[in-house]
């Protein structure tokens, strides 16, 4: 049975009862418009924990002024059906005033990690993400929380905040779920028209080309970034935001690829901004 609650007291009651039954609590934070990517996180949570909480909240503080907050898809009934089918125990879908009452004044920032990659094009975005996720952790108090690699910078920022603030939970980063042609699933894919949708495969294809080049021995990040940029800018309708090859741990640039490496791209098609990445383990 999936229960739907909207207040913090109701979450705490339900989670408290689960904890009394010695159930391990898992949390999957989402903004709704659930797709197979979200479902993979729910399944990971179900496999590992005995009480799965999914939060559904389109978080206003992580959207910039020109971004899609008002038109972000809100599909609560369909989302609830998916949660029921997947055996979610509790759905927490709060009102904005519950999360951000009128006298709200505290924000969480993860410096350095929030300032690179998506940071410059989305000022304040990661501050909004870190703040809401920190609040969700405190409300639900999960033992484990699940995030998708698709938003790798977000997941790294959350890992960092959990460590820095000594939050007593584990963070799992789960693999990116893709369409058959490689496009990473995203609630924003529905904004693409047919032509944009077919050209959007350039993100995955160019990332795979970089992966192959690294496997063949390429270790120069600048050469790989140039390749990504060329492939993306040659694609009709695609506007490159960034194409970066960096340390997956620090998100800093490296003079030569070494260790855990993140290859990440952000591309706009019309008003729709898509991101994707691959992680590579690079030896000498
Ligand atoms: P949302 O975009 O709804 O994503 C919720 C979770 O699903 C995130 O951890 C995201 O990385 C993961 N996800 C999205 N697409 C995925 C895919 N194709 N494969 C695997 N996982 C995928 O990310 C957010 O919401 C918000 O920023 C949130 C963390 C909820 C804070 O408001």
Question: Could you tell me the residue ranges of all domains in the chain?
Answer: 3-174, 187-282
Task: Count the neighbouring beta carbons within 10 Å of the beta carbon of residue 204.
Answer: 19
Q: Which CATH number fits domain 3-174: 3.40.50.11540, 3.30.390.30, 1.10.4190.10, 3.40.50.620?
A: 3.40.50.620
Phi/psi at 95 (nearest 5 deg)?
-80, 155
**In angstroms, how far is the first alpha carbon of the chain from the final one?**
52
pLDDT tens, residue by residue, 140-184: 999 999 999 999 999 999 999 999 999 999 999 999 999 999 999
- Give 122 Cα–ligand 1 centroid separation in angstroms: 16
- Give 255 Cα–ligand 1 centroid separation in angstroms: 31
Domain 187-282 CATH assignment equals 3.40.640.10: no
Give pLDDT, residue 284: 78
Tell which atom from ligand 1 comes closest to the C-alpha of 41.
21
DSSP annotation of 72: S
Task: Count the neighbouring beta carbons within 10 Å of the beta carbon of residue 138.
Answer: 10
Q: Which residues pair with 4 in a beta bridge?
A: 91
Within 6 Å (CB) of ligand 1, which residues are found?
29-31, 37-38, 40-41, 59, 62, 129, 132-133, 147-148, 150-151, 154, 174, 176-177, 184-187
pLDDT tens, residue by residue, 64-97: 999 999 999 999 999 999 999 999 999 999 999 9
Q: Name the residue among 88, 76, 98 with its Cα closest to residue 7.
A: 98
- Give 28 Cα–ligand 1 centroid separation in angstroms: 9
pLDDT tens, residue by residue, 238-284: 999 999 999 999 999 999 999 999 999 999 999 999 999 999 999 97
Category of 217 on φ-ψ map: left (φ > 0), alpha (ψ -120 to 50) or beta: left
């Amino acid at each position: 049975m999936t229960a739907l609650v909207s207040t913090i007291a109701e979450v705490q009651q339900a989670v408290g009862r689960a904890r009394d039954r010695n159930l391990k609590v898992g949390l999957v934070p989402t903004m709704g418009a659930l797709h197979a990517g979200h479902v993979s996180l729910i399944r990971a949570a179900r496999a590992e924990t005995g009480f799965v909480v999914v939060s559904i909240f389109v978080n206003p503080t992580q959207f910039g002024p020109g971004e899609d907050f008002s038109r972000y898809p809100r599909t609560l009934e369909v989302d609830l059906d998916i949660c029921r089918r997947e055996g979610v125990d509790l759905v927490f879908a709060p009102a904005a005033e519950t999360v951000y009452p009128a006298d709200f004044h505290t924000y969480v920032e993860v410096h350095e990690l929030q300032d690179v990659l998506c940071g410059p094009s989305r000022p304040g975005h990661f501050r909004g993400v870190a703040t809401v996720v920190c609040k969700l952790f405190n409300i639900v108090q999960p033992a484990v929380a699940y995030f998708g690699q698709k938003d790798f910078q977000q997941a790294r920022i959350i890992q960092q905040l959990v460590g820095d603030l000594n939050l007593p939970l584990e963070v799992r980063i789960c693999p990116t779920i893709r369409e058959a042609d490689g496009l990473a699933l995203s609630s924003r894919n529905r904004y693409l028209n047919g032509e944009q949708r077919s050209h959007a495969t350039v993100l995955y294809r160019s990332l795979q080309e970089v992966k192959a080049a690294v496997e063949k021995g390429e270790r120069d990040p600048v050469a790989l970034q140039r390749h990504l940029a060329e492939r993306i800018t040659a694609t009709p309708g695609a506007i490159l935001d960034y194409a970066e090859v960096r340390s997956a741990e620090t998100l800093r640039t490296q003079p030569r690829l070494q260790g855990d490496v993140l290859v990440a791209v952000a591309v706009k098609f019309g008003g729709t901004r898509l991101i994707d990445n691959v992680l590579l383990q690079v030896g000498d």
